[in-house]
Amino acid sequence: MEEGRTYGYVRVSTKEQNEDRQLLALLECGVQEENILIDKQSGKDFNRPKYQQLMREMKPGDTLFVKSIDRLGRDYEEIMNQWRVITKDMQVSIVVLDIPLLDTRQKERDLTGVFIADLVLQILSYVAQTEREFTHQRQAEGIAAARAKGVRLGRPPQERTKAFERLFEAWRKQEISGRFAAKQLGISHQTFQNWVREALGA
**Top-confidence range, 12-16, 62-66, 99-103:** 62-66
HEC readout, the chain: CCCCCEEEEEEECCCCCCCHHHHHHHHHCCCCHHHEEEEECCCCCCCCHHHHHHHHHCCCCCEEEECCHHHCCCCHHHHHHHHHHHHHHCCCEEEECCCCCCECCCCCCCHHHHHHHHHHHHHHHHHHHHHHHHHHHHHHHHHHHHHHCCCCCCCCCCCCCHHHHHHHHHHHCCCCCHHHHHHHHCCCHHHHHHHHHHHHCC
98-134: pLDDT as tens digits: 888 888 886 555 666 667 777 887 787 777 667 767 7
Interval 77-100: pLDDT, tens:
788 888 889 988 999 999 999 888
Per-residue pLDDT for 76 more than 90?
no
Confidence tier at 156 by pLDDT (50, 70, 90): low
- In terms of average pLDDT, the best of 28-32, 115-119, 151-155, 194-198 is 28-32
Which residue is catalytic, options 13, 42, 177, 188?
A: 13
6-128 maps to which CATH number?
3.40.50.1390
pTM of this structure: 0.60
Domain assignments of the chain as residue spans, ordered by start: 6-128, 162-200
125 is catalytic: no
